[in-house]
Amino acid sequence: MVNQAQANLLTMRKLVVVAIAMFGFGFALAPFYKKICEVTGINSVIKADEAVNTQVDTARLVTVEFDANLRNALPWTFHPLQASVRIHPGELTTVMYEIRNNSGRPVTGQAIPSYGPQLAARYFKKLECFCFTQQTLAPGEARVMPVQFVIEKGLPDDVRTITLSYTFFEIEGAGKKAS
């Protein structure tokens, strides 16, 4: 009987050690992931890019199409003020997006960009973007926000159209802090 009690106690200790190790691993995973993204440049949506080559390639035109989406039942309207632009690689371009909070409460959202084709992300350099910070809108507030960008000259010649798509997600609980 004593041996069974000791075995149960030993098993319980092992379970506690495993549970603590799992908690520690889960707790350390978020900063570890953030550091990996920072080092590799993956998901670097919170800071401005640096334009490496500022020479304009006037021999070539690229069409940039703009898209806007909302997720998680975000009570906003969100759209680009122009559907597309035709620009030369290396040319500094600014486009505007409009958001409006259609709810009766403050709401905070974060925009995440994506690109089509995906390889265009390497050549699409945003110098100013609303996606770098969270946006908090008061009830009924509307805002026009700029995106300033350059497409670097190294973009492969077979890429003639790039789609820049933003998806706004609501940041849960952030609107309550703002009020």
Residues 146 and 101 in one domain: yes
Assess whether 84 and 17 both reside in one domain: no
28 lies in some domain:
yes
Q: 8 and 70 in one domain?
A: no
Task: Provide the domain limits for residue 39.
Answer: 1-43
Q: Is 23 a member of any domain?
A: yes
Same domain, residue pair 103 and 136: yes
Residues 79 and 157 in one domain: yes
52 occurs within a structural domain: no
Work out how many domains the chain is built from and give that number.
2
| Residue 50 falls inside a structural domain | no
pLDDT reported for residue 36: 63
Do 88 and 57 contact (CB within 8 A), yes or no?
Answer: yes
Given a cut of 80, whether residue 177 has pLDDT beyond it is no
Tens-place pLDDT, residues 12-46? 888 888 888 777 777 666 666 666 655 555 555 55
Indicate whether 102 and 75 sit together in one domain. yes
Cis peptide preceding 89, ω within 30 of 0? no
Q: Does one domain contain both 24 and 87?
A: no
> Is 118 inside any structural domain?
yes
User: Residue 63: is its pLDDT beyond 50?
Assistant: yes
At residue 146, the pLDDT reads 97
Asked whether residue 53 is domain-assigned, the answer is: no
Is there a single domain that holds both residue 100 and residue 37? Answer: no
Q: What is the enclosing helix (H) or strand (E) of 18?
A: helix 2-40
| CB atoms closer than 10 angstroms to residue 131 | 20
pLDDT at 175: 47
Assigned domain for 54 exists: no
Shared-domain flag, residues 25 and 74 = no
163 and 130 assigned to the same domain = yes
Per residue in 72-127, pLDDT (tens digit) is: 889 999 999 999 999 999 999 999 999 999 999 999 999 999 999 999 999 999 99
Instruction: Report yes or no on 116 lying in a domain.
Output: yes
Residues 90 and 117 placed together within one structural domain of the fold = yes
| Residues 138-170: tens digit of each pLDDT | 999 999 999 999 999 899 999 999 999 999 999
In this prediction, residue 10 has a pLDDT band, given cuts at 50, 70 and 90, of confident
Kindly give the pairing relationship between strand 161-170 and strand 124-129: unpaired
The predicted pLDDT at position 55 comes to 84
Q: Report how far residue 162's alpha carbon sits from residue 84's, in angstroms, rounded to the nearest whole number.
A: 10
Q: Are residues 35 and 92 in the same domain?
A: no
Q: How does strand 84-87 pair with strand 161-170?
A: unpaired
DSSP structure class, residue 50: -
Supply the CATH number for residue 114's domain: 2.60.370.10
